Amino acid sequence: MNTWQIYSAISSVLLLLLLGLYVTERRRHLGFSAELEGELKQVSSRLDHDELTGLLAPGAFDTLLDQAVQQANHSGGSICVLCIALDNFGLISDGFGRAISDRILREVAGRLNACAGAQSPVCRVAGTEFAFIVNGGLAIGRLASERVKVEMIKPFEWLMTSTGLTCSIGLAIYPENGRRERLLDNAAMAMRNVKLNGGDAFCQFDAKMGVELRQQAALVNDLRSALEKGQFELFFQPKIDALSLQVTAAEALLRWHHPERGLVSPVIFIPLAEKYGLMGSIGNWVIDEACRTAAHWKESGLRMRVAVNISGYQMREDDLVERIEAALRRYELRPERFTCEITESVAMENTTVTRLTFDKMRKAGFHVSIDDFGTGYSSLAALRRLPAAELKIDRAFVVDLLESKDARLIASSIINMAKALNLRVVAEGVETTGQRDLLVKMGCDELQGFLFSLPVTAQ
């Protein structure tokens, strides 16, 4: 073999080696690219979907909303955005923990997907707020809202417990309720309006809602400084012994003297105080002021209980009972002279925190009253477990007592049940002598209402 042939053979071998190296590198590069593309798709999918529920993330929902608006513009039709918020879901989180609340949120997501249908992916906007789009106007939106309410009220089951959920739903119609940029915000504003009015309903966006929310924001801002400015005052409404007509107790009722709005009803500002974290300091003031007033009455020779309404927010505070005990010691009052009035709905929450608070109240010796009784879903077994000394018949049954057979049956049943459990019965909202006489005949122990006195100042 001559020199040229040797060089030619070596060149061929080198060429084959280089070609092999190129093919290997090319395959490795293509594999890396495919792997990178797969990773990017997974990352994109994670960014487009909520990690907990698998629902659309807000960014992906914005893209979907853009497409829906473009289609509506092209066809001349309408679309409806639903913004949904679960009512009082914090109670479940507080009472049962993160694992249970996450599990329920995943089930909520599944139910919402079923309501929206395959053509309308649901978005988890934030926390316990969701949204989805339906093609059509208000009538279609209402039907979708009804479906959501029906699905949410079906029982969720966990830890031997089951309960349905209520929700607040806001509707915004395009193009009727604003431009694309404001559509989800307007639906959310309508949802918040429903929440402020008690939840468990749906409503369409109205431009007036923005004004109302701005007014509410101003009210909350004023509420933050009302305590330090001394704008709160306690009024008291007496409870009267049904037979002797002597005053046995007085219920403390909070009033806010607003410098511009005048006397603001607690129905307006108490929910705001609870929502924006102001109830703790206001509640402390009410407890202290009620005890201070009761101590002054005691010095004047008046031996009667003072009753304070305890909110659901306060019942979930770890140190509520300790703070009440501190106030009682400060003013040298006996625990049985302090009545905690707790609404039936709060009393029946049966969460770990509220059960612990009730146990503390029992040990402290407070006088516990179940307020607004007859409007909730109490059971005899649940009532027996509570450290209650009395039930208050809700005013709704007292108002109709003379005209409604059903109201008389309910009032009579409550009184008989209370007697069987060795509980005293207070009827609130007594306004006529006819109502008084009938309640006395039924065996009611104490009466409260305008027939005897309006809420008045301590003096």
Task: Encode the chain in three state secondary structure.
Answer: CCHHHHHHHHHHHHHHHHHHHHHHHHHHHHHHHHHHHHHHHHHHHHHHECCCCCCECHHHHHHHHHHHHHHHHHHCCCEEEEEEEECCCHHHHHHHCHHHHHHHHHHHHHHHHHHHCCCCCCEEEECCEEEEEEECCHHHHHHHHHHHHHHHHCCEEECCEEECCCEEEEEEEECCCCCHHHHHHHHHHHHHHHHHCCCCEEEECCCHHHHHHHHHHHHHHHHHHHCCCCCEEEEEEEEEECCCCCEEEEEEEEEEEECCCEEECHHHHHHHHHHCCCHHHHHHHHHHHHHHHHHHHHHCCCCCEEEEECCHHHHCCCCHHHHHHHHHHHCCCCHHHEEEEEEHHHHCCCCHHHHHHHHHHHHHCCEEEEEEECCCCCCHHHHHHCCEEEEEECHHHHHCCCCCHHHHHHHHHHHHHHHHCCCEEEEECCCCHHHHHHHHHHCCCEEECCCCCCCEECC
CA dihedral over 189, 190, 191, 194, signed as positive or negative: positive
Separation CA 291–CA 338 (nearest Å) = 8
Residue keyed to tokens 């001394």? 230
| C-alpha span between 304 and 402 (Å, rounded) | 31
Per-residue buried b or exposed e for 143-179, using 16+ beta carbons within 10 Å of the residue's own CB: ebbebbbebbeeebeeeeeeeebebbbbbbbbeebbe
Question: How many residues make up the chain in this entry?
Answer: 459
Is the CA virtual torsion 277, 279, 280, 282 positive or negative?
Answer: positive
Q: Distance between CA atoms of 381 and 396, rounded to whole angstroms? A: 24
End-to-end CA separation in angstroms for the chain: 128
Among candidate residues 143, 56, 142, 153, the one with its CA nearest the CA of residue 111: 153
Residue-level pLDDT at 42: 46
Burial 7-33 (b: 16+ CB within 10 A, else e): eeeeeeeeeeeeeeeeeeeeeeeeeee
pLDDT of residue 45: 43
- What is the chain's pLDDT, residue by residue, as a tens digit (459 residues)? 556 556 566 666 666 666 667 666 666 666 644 553 444 344 344 458 899 999 999 989 999 999 999 999 999 899 999 999 999 888 788 777 888 889 999 999 999 999 998 778 999 998 899 999 999 988 999 999 999 999 999 998 877 677 889 999 999 999 988 888 889 999 999 998 888 777 899 999 988 887 777 788 888 899 999 999 999 999 999 999 999 999 999 999 999 999 998 988 888 888 888 878 888 899 999 999 999 999 999 988 888 899 999 988 888 888 999 999 999 999 999 999 999 999 887 877 766 778 889 899 999 999 999 888 876 656 666 777 788 889 998 888 898 899 989 889 988 988 998 898 899 999 999 999 999 999 999 999 999 999 999 999 988
